[in-house]
Chain A
Amino acid sequence: KQEVTQIPAALSVPEGENLVLNCSFTDSAIYNLQWFRQDPGKGLTSLLLIQSSQREQTSGRLNASLDKSSGRSTLYIAASQPGDSATYLCAVFGTLRYKLTFGKGITLSVRP
């Protein structure tokens, strides 16, 4: 059974810092990996989807990498801003290609 782990559960950084959020998964036989953002009381917003054949994907200040062999993905946020404060979740598509398995998320707080 696929398990997705995100450590630490919470992170607090000062504004302007570059930061890395980690995600690990137990079964390397994944198709794609998707990073989401969740604001309190709201649904999930898709940030980036990395195809299994890709090593990384970029959108603005966000860069996500994928290393299937080691079962790891990272989300890099450049020049963090208070508006980046949210919970970030990673999820993987496994052998059932429609089914996402999520981590518990990392709650990020960016201090002004």
Chain B
Amino acid sequence: GAGVSQSPRYKVAKRGQDVALRCDPISGHVSLFWYQQALGQGPEFLTYFQNEAQLDKSGLPSDRFFAERPEGSVSTLKIQRTQQEDSAVYLCASSLRRDTPDTQYFGPGTRLTVL
């Protein structure tokens, strides 16, 4: 079956622009996660959804970052007024069950470059 997909794969934004990154999780997966991976670093947790409910957004770096999953499937990570320090790969992951240490399946990521 299809894995986690993300679009766009690459995004170049001028500083101050708003961007929207999309994630399509594996069908039927209850849990969805966003991570940020800076160059040479491991992924860092941003936020967690259980169906449409955002249960943890403690990793979002600032109030410029906003994520939603309105119908419990597709999710969008929005970054307003992008800054150079936002340049990173944004990874989306999903897992089958809720609130349990299940295998997380990752998408290919969106590489964001802010000029």
Contacts and interface: CB of A to CB of B under 8 A. Distances in A.
A44 B33 contact: no
Interface string A64-89: 00000000000000000000000001
Nearest to A102: B42
B99 to A, nearest CB: 6
Given A96-B56, A98-B31, A46 B42 contact: no
B42 A105 contact: yes
Interface residues of A, number: 26
B104 A46 contact: yes
Contact of B91 (A4, A44, A49, A103): A44
Contacts of B44: 102
Interface of B: 4, 6, 31, 33, 35, 40-45, 48, 55-56, 91, 93, 95, 98-101, 103-109, 111
Interface of A: 4, 31-32, 34, 36, 41-46, 49, 52, 89, 91, 93, 96-105
